[in-house]
């Protein structure tokens, strides 16, 4: 059973709603393929989970500890003896796995946004010209002849000038992940960026997918930590927007 390591990059989880935390709990405890409980998870056997589920706020440190423990498994170190890793180390390991360009000295928000842009890059590469045009229109990117590269550049520019754009990007990435994992959360209860929701409610939402997460990522721990980091990144952007 993992013990939570005090982590300044995860303390905001204590201020997230039960609906928010429920998405993270689902990823940590249930398999992405068949929805069955993970054999490697320990969260559901903790006293905190047994006492308080589904009031996730009351045991958020146990949720954080489970995430940290999966991070240690992803890094595959023999010296930790199942001791968890801090979120920054977990996140940078995930970014290396996804081939994300980032500086290890950047803020945690910047590294997460770089990861989310990589998620979008992979999804954009699978879209047709018509789908890119629709996405550009729905996201108000003002591109006459959008390509995956131009859409990505427009999103990067919007993020630099607007926290709302960052939240919209995080929403698109997180919902595409959740849809790929079988719809583990109720969209209406969990997500806040209305323009991004409008995109996903339309035909483009059927195309925007993160199925590559399951198809391309090898290693059972990464099948947990990659989607978990994407959801944590979304929860952070939502938390920042609410502040």
Phi, psi of 30 (to 5 degrees): -125, 145
Residue 44 CA: distances (Å) to CA of 16, 142, 190, 201 = 19, 47, 22, 33
Query: Which of 68-72, 84-88, 166-170 is most confident?
Result: 84-88
Structure confidence by residue, pLDDT tens digits, 134-157: 888 877 888 889 999 999 999 888
Q: How confident is the model at residue 224 (pLDDT cuts 50, 70, 90)?
A: confident
**pTM, two decimal places:** 0.86
Q: Residues with Cβ < 8 Å from 154, sequence gap 6 or more?
A: 136, 141, 142, 143, 146
Strand, helix or coil at 37?
Answer: strand
Break the chain into its structural domains and give their ranges.
11-242
pLDDT at residue 188 in the model: 45
Q: Please tell me what DSSP assigns to residue 30.
A: B
**25 to 5, 49, 164, 224, 228: CA distances (angstroms):** 18, 10, 26, 11, 9
Rounded to 5 degrees, φ, ψ at 54 are -95, 25
Reported confidence tier of residue 187, pLDDT bands at 50, 70, 90 = very low
């Amino acid at each position: 059973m993992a013990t939570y390591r005090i982590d300044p990059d995860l303390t905001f989880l204590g201020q997230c709603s039960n609906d928010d935390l429920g998405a993270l709990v689902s990823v940590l405890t249930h398999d992405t393929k068949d929805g069955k409980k993970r054999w490697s998870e320990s969260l559901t056997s903790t006293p905190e989970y047994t006492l308080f589920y589904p009031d996730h706020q009351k045991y958020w440190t146990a949720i954080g500890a489970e995430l940290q423990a999966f991070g240690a498994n992803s890094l595959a170190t023999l010296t930790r003896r199942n001791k968890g890793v801090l979120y920054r180390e977990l996140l940078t390991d995930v970014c290396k796995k996804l081939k994300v360009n980032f500086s290890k000295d950047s803020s945690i928000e910047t590294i997460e946004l770089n990861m989310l842009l990589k998620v979008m890059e992979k999804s954009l590469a699978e879209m047709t010209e018509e789908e890119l045009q629709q996405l550009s229109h729905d996201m108000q990117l003002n591109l006459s002849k959008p390509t995956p590269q131009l859409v990505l550049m427009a999103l990067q520019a919007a993020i630099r000038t607007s926290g709302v754009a960052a939240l919209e990007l995080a929403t698109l990435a997180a919902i595409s992940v959740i849809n790929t994992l079988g719809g583990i959360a109720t969209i209406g209860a969990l997500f806040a960026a209305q323009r991004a929701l409008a995109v996903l409610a339309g035909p483009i939402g059927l195309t925007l997918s993160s199925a590559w997460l399951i198809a391309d990522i090898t290693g059972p721990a990464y099948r947990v930590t990659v989607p978990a980091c994407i959801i944590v990144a979304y929860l952070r952007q939502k938390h920042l927007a609410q502040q």
